[in-house]
Amino acid sequence: MGSRTFVDFWIRPPDVTIAKEMCKRASELGYSALVVEAPKSMLDELKGIAKEYGLELYSKAVISAKTRSDVLKMVTKLRHSYDAIAVHCLTRDAALVALRDGRVDTVVFRANGFMTIDKHMLSVTRNSIELTLIDAISDRVALQKMRGIVRLIDAKGLSVIFSSCASNPVEQRGPFETSCIINAFGLNFERSLDAISTVPLNILLRNRAKLSGEIVQEGVWLVKG
Amino acid sequence: MLRARYRYVFVKPFPGDVRLDKLEIWKAVQSSLQYLVGALGYADVNPYLVRVQKDLDGLVMRCNSKHIRTFVAAIALVNNVGGERVALDIKKVSGTLKALLRKLKC
């Protein structure tokens, strides 16, 4: 537990004041990095605040997609501006495209969208699947659905990410608590810890390197000095 | 017969300024656990409210040591106590009550 770097892969503060409180709470809970879905102007302001609390801040764009073309258009538009791109699928068609597209980082399955996963979808999956804590906390039906999704993911050995999707500090939970929730869904504890540390961190580091030009092409890194 | 092993958990509500009935918190945890693992799972976890720690503004709870993760998950899933939106933070987990209180006070 101690040597891991924990990442809250999705918070969406409504304003800077709440964002500041959320940064403070995340730091107290033991997170080292936050991924924020917010307008660019707010992100610039938040970077300084996050640094005060010893947090690394990453930007995230969440695309709500109904059709295949929604996914393709928005990913093309946003890929080079954000550290992480997540697709929140509202239909199965959109989910199938998002799960395969190499430019997408995570595919979010939420209670207010499409929250079913079948074996065909799993067989074409290339990206990580993201589940949110807020759905587990606030929606008991979603909790049962998430349990089913986690079992399928575990059986297929795919990577899963668990984020808080919090919009205020009360919705945030610590890394240990979060990993225990995933563990209660049926994933083993090591993989539960990976879902909030290694898996999201690798995505963020790779994407930041791509944005800064350190990765010239997939697998080709620019060596400095 | 083997002696039962427990884990003692110190739970503190967040935000701290909200006044809550501590027994309401315990009921919320019980309900959450029951929903998460069902009646049989609940019996395995064997939760118990040890004491209300007024000086530290929290509760000390106990569960079967093998099922501590399930118990922590149930605590983390609580988001509403007596109509107030709260989070229950797990501040410390220990094998004995004495060690838990010592760790909390130092």
Shortest CA gap A184–chain B (Å): 6
Chain A CB within 8 Å of residue B18 CB: no
Strand segments (E) across A153-195: 160-163
Residue ranges of the domains in chain A? 7-221
Buried/exposed A35-63: b ≥16 CB within 10 Å, e otherwise: bbbbeeebbeebeebbeebebbbbbbbbb
- Walk me through the domains of chain B, giving residue ranges and CATH numbers: 6-105 (3.30.70.3250)
pLDDT of residue A2: 60
ipTM over 0.95: no
Instruction: Name the residue in chain B with its Cα closest to that of A136.
Output: B77
What is the chain A residue with the closest CA to B16?
A170
- The architecture of the domain spanning A7-221 is Alpha-Beta Barrel (3.20)
Contact partners, residue A188, CB within 8 Å, separation at least 6: A154
Of the candidates A126, A121, A67, the one whose C-alpha atom is nearest the C-alpha of residue A101 is A126
Mean pLDDT calculated for residue range B12-16: 89
Query: What pLDDT sits at residue B69?
Result: 96
pLDDT > 70 fraction of chain B, expressed in percent and rounded = 99
User: Given CB atoms, is B32 within the 8 Å cutoff of chain A?
Assistant: no
Residue ranges for chain A with pLDDT beneath 70:
1-2
| Structure tokens that stand for A19 in this block | 């964002």
Can you give the pLDDT at residue A134? Answer: 93
* A106 and A195 Cβ atoms separated by less than 8 Å: no
pLDDT (0 to 100) of residue B105: 83
pLDDT at B55: 84
Structure tokens at A134: 């807020």
